[in-house]
């Protein structure tokens, strides 16, 4: 972690990067260690992601993130996006005893009460903002339409596209309108009808566009209309749309469908580029270049320093050799700057959280789903 000071071009590219960090010990991972500091000092990243390994008590995590924002400011960088996956249920990085365990999406869907989705999202957002986060990679907008799906399942609100759409919109309202936290719908254009986990291999979905319009795209259209700030791509090969490239790497899907047909103007972020769904065939570095060519704004890499450096260097080389134009980079930089101006402020961290009320909400929703 002793790279040269980033060039002006590398600082621009850094704003397209949202990276995580590791530590040799649990305590080191919960601190601004050498990996975390190098993300800012040497890669000039635009954002960081907190995995479970990075989360301590409210006070510990708040101090750590304040230090990271101060480090970015001292380097003359814009405020950092600080993101996590806090869906509720099994995909939760902030867990008891320091934080509230919120119900999984299916439990909320089973209540058939859209206000439950809004209240849960608002409460999750308040707890995240209390430690200095400004972006949650939620809600899951996938329709759970394949019972053999190993990765989505109860992370989805259900198997009815209209229900998922209405629950998803309610969650976006809770995150963004009520709590002022960026939301991120995932995994575009839909991860529900797979039998392979894209963390482990590349799933394939062979349905046509008409089926996608009738099922998978319904929640995304609704959330976009509700002002969804971010959308995360899926590492899935939709063979009837693009037989060669998965959604994350496909101009047909990201630029043609998401930007063009759906009219989406917000942030597009990739799922983690270390996942085997793209890394095995293309490699994380080449996949990062392909993702930007496809229309993504932000490249996500959650774990490994060497891979993160390779991603930055691959994008830098692609701009220098003309494969990616600086105009294409500036296009994403403008979206990122607008989002940061709107959603990140000095008032982002809130001091007091009604943890007792949040626990009561969680218990009430769980009981309602069980018919109690």
At 61-83, the pLDDT tens digits run 999 999 999 999 999 999 999 99
Q: Which domains does the chain have, with CATH numbers?
A: 8-19+90-367 (3.20.20.300)
Confidence at residue 276, expressed as pLDDT on a 0 to 100 scale: 87
Pick the catalytic residue: 113, 178, 199, 213? 199
Confidence at residue 197, expressed as pLDDT on a 0 to 100 scale: 67
Look at residue 268 and tell me whether its pLDDT is greater than 60. Answer: yes
Look at residue 30 and tell me whether its pLDDT is greater than 90. Answer: yes
Pick the catalytic residue: 193, 242, 271, 297? 271
How far, in Å, CA of 213 to CA of 371, rounded? Answer: 33
Higher pLDDT residue, 3 or 164?
164
Residues 298-319 pLDDT 10s: 999 999 999 999 999 999 999 9
Mean pLDDT of 153-159: 91
SS3 of 260-288? HHCCCCCEEECCCCCCHHHHHHHCHHHHH
Decide if 313 is catalytic.
no
Dihedral pair phi/psi, residue 238, rounded to 5° = -95, 95
Decide if 113 is catalytic.
no
Q: Contact at 8 Å (CB) between 58 and 65?
A: no
203 — pLDDT class (breaks 50, 70, 90): confident
pTM, two decimals, is 0.94
Q: Contact at 8 Å (CB) between 8 and 32?
A: no
Quote the tokens at residue 174: 């809770």
Specify the 3-state DSSP secondary structure of 102: coil
Ranking 17-26, 217-226, 272-281, 288-297 by mean pLDDT, the lowest is 272-281
347 — pLDDT class (breaks 50, 70, 90): low
Mean pLDDT of 267-278: 93
Q: Is the peptide bond between 112 and the residue preceding it cis, with omega within 30 degrees of 0?
A: no
């Amino acid at each position: 972690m002793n790279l040269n000071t980033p060039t002006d071009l590398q600082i621009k590219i850094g704003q397209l990067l949202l990276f995580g960090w590791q530590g040799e010990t649990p305590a080191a991972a919960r601190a601004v260690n050498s990996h975390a500091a190098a993300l800012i000092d040497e890669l000039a990243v635009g954002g960081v992601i907190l995995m479970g390994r990075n989360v301590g008590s409210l006070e510990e995590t708040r101090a750590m993130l304040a230090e990271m924002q101060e480090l970015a400011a001292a380097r003359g960088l814009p405020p950092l996006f600080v993101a996590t996956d806090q869906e509720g249920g099994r995909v939760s990085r902030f867990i008891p005893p320091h934080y509230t365990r919120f119900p999984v999406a299916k439990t909320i869907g089973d209540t058939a009460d859209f206000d439950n989705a809004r209240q849960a999202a608002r409460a999750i957002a308040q707890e995240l903002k209390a430690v200095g986060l400004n972006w949650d990679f939620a809600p899951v907008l996938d329709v759970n339409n394949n019972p053999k799906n190993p990765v989505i399942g109860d992370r989805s609100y259900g198997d009815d596209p209209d229900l998922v759409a209405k629950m998803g919109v309610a969650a976006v309202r809770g995150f963004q309108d009520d709590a002022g936290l960026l939301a991120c719908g995932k995994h575009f254009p839909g991860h529900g009808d797979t039998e392979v986990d894209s963390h482990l291999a590349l799933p394939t979905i062979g349905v046509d566009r008409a089926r996608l319009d009738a099922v998978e795209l319904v929640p995304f259209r609704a959330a976009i209309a509700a002002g969804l700030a971010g959308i995360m791509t899926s590492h899935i090969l939709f063979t009837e749309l693009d037989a060669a490239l998965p959604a994350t790497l496909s101009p047909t899907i990201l630029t043609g469908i998401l930007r063009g047909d759906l009219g989406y103007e917000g942030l597009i972020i990739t799922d983690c580029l270390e996942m085997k769904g793209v890394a095995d065939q293309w490699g994380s570095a080449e996949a990062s270049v392909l993702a930007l060519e496809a229309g993504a704004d932000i490249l996500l890499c959650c774990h490994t320093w060497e891979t993160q450096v390779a991603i930055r260097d691959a994008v830098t080389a692609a701009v220098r050799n003309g494969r990616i134009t600086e105009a294409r980079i500036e296009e994403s930089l403008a979206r990122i700057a607008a989002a940061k101006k709107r959603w990140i402020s000095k008032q982002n961290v809130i001091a007091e959280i009604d943890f007792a009320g949040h626990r009561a909400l969680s218990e009430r929703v769980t009981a309602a789903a069980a018919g109690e």
